[in-house]
Amino acid sequence: MTLTVVGSINIDHVIRLPQFPRPGETLTGSDYRIVPGGKGANQAVAAARAGAATRFIACVGDDALARSLVEGFAADGIDVSAIDRMTGINTGVALIQVNGEGENTISLAAGANGRLTPEQLNRHSAGLSCEQLLLQLEIPLDTNIAAAGQAKAQGARVVLNPAPAQALPDALLSLVDLITPNETEAERLTGIAVHDDAGAAAAARVLHAKGIATVIITLGARGVWLSEQGQGRVIPGFKVEAVDTTAAGDTFNGALLAALQQQQPLEQAVRFAQAAAALSVTRPGAQTSIPDKTEITALLE
Ligand code: ADP
């Protein structure tokens, strides 16, 4: 077992609307679904479907949906032995609105994800003995710092998808080997707007200066800015008809680590991840939209 994801599990309530309601406005949507989500879960599912042996350290609540969520992860081939069921609290929830352009807004309640404390993590410290650790920001920050520290001390590559956007302490950033912000997250981390290549290069330089060897800024439909040791360039994405961009970044991250786990060189792994993410935006939902290795490979041929 060589890839460990530590992160969140959410139940997503997704409603499609012609446009986002303004404050005080009520709009009627066309479609409502309950689907599995959460950045940690989405990335674990994306990694597993893309072919990586994946262990997932996470917490769910004691609500009725939790059991079927975990069964779903197991059906995707994820090692679920470190997913704990917490009592007296709900599984995390995300309320997602998708507009006519396929853009989304998301409101979160952490629920059981907030119970994934450093003490809780310590029950599963064997799981941090891995080749790659993948983190996001929907669990307590102290837990991410503890996970990164323990995994790195055992020789793991520490990968951080710094989402949702927030400023981060050097205590975490200094432990990160590869970081994958989108444009908004890169700006929040560095104070530099990523509107063009010069902005991406400048933001990447700030992150390199924190000790992060590899910076990948995802640029939506444009692709990614890949920067190694300060040398950056755009790697264009795949042209597809976007229906719903929910989980594009999550799919990118999971598939990227799966490709790296399979010893693909970095740029080839980025192409693989972009193909996976492009497929995910052509379909509605979060985990429902994540492709498997066969589909990804077919798009790359
Ligand atoms: P996030 O979902 O975290 O905001 P991005 O929107 O930057 O992240 O998307 C992540 C990756 O998904 C991009 O780098 C790109 O490869 C792919 N992607 C996103 N949107 C599209 C799109 N409309 N068409 C094709 N690929 C896309």
Could you identify the atom of ligand 1 that is nearest to the CA of residue 219? Answer: 7
38 CA distance to ligand 1 centroid (A)? 17
Three-class HEC string of 195-218: CCHHHHHHHHHHHHHCCCCEEEEE
Q: What is the pTM of this model?
A: 0.94
Look up residue 91 and give its two tokens.
Answer: 């599984």
Say yes or no: CB of residue 277 within 6 Å of ligand 1.
yes
Ligand 1: residue whose CA is nearest its atom 6? 220
Q: How many other CB atoms are there within 10 angstroms of residue 228's CB atom?
A: 16
**Any atom of ligand 1 within 6 Å of the Cβ of 245:** yes
What is the rounded distance in angstroms from the CA atom of residue 233 to the CA atom of residue 224?
8
Distance from Cα 224 to the centre of ligand 1, integer Å: 8
> According to the model, what pLDDT value does residue 1 have?
53
Active site residues: 250
Per-residue pLDDT of the chain (301 residues; tens, 9 = 90+): 589 999 999 998 989 999 999 999 999 998 898 989 999 999 999 999 999 999 999 999 999 999 999 999 999 999 999 999 999 999 999 999 989 987 889 898 999 999 999 999 999 999 999 999 999 999 999 999 999 999 999 999 999 999 999 999 999 999 999 999 999 999 999 999 999 999 999 999 999 999 999 999 999 999 999 999 779 999 999 999 998 888 899 999 999 999 999 999 999 999 999 999 999 999 877 788 899 999 999 999 9
Query: Is residue 264 helix, strand or coil?
Result: coil
What local confidence, expressed as pLDDT, does residue 244 receive?
82
Q: How far apart are CA 198 and CA 218, in angstroms?
A: 15
Q: How many angstroms separate the alpha carbon of residue 247 from the centre of ligand 1?
A: 9
* Rounded Cα gap, residues 37 and 277, in angstroms: 15
Q: Confirm whether the ipTM is greater than 0.95.
A: yes
Supply the residue whose CA is at minimum distance from atom 8 of ligand 1. 249
The secondary structure of residue 26, as a DSSP letter, is: -
Q: H or E segment at 266?
A: helix 266-281
pLDDT at 288: 84
The two tokens of residue 20 are 């986002």
pLDDT at 44: 98
285 Cα to the center of ligand 1, angstroms: 14
Which regions of 156-237 does DSSP assign to beta strands (E)? 157-160, 178-179, 214-218, 223-228, 231-236
Q: Is the CB of 224 under 6 A from ligand 1?
A: yes
- Ligand 1 centroid to Cα of residue 118, in Å, is 32
Closest ligand 1 atom to the C-alpha of 274?
16
Q: What is the DSSP string of 42-75?
A: HHHHHHHHTT--EEEEEEE-SSHHHHHHHHHHHH
Contact 165 CB / ligand 1 (< 6 Å): no
For ligand 1, say whether the CB of 74 is within 6 Å of any of its atoms: no
Q: Given ligand 1 and candidates 194, 245, 279, which is best to mutate, with the most ligand atoms within 8 Å of its CB?
A: 245
The continuous run of DSSP H or E covering 104 comes out as: strand 104-109
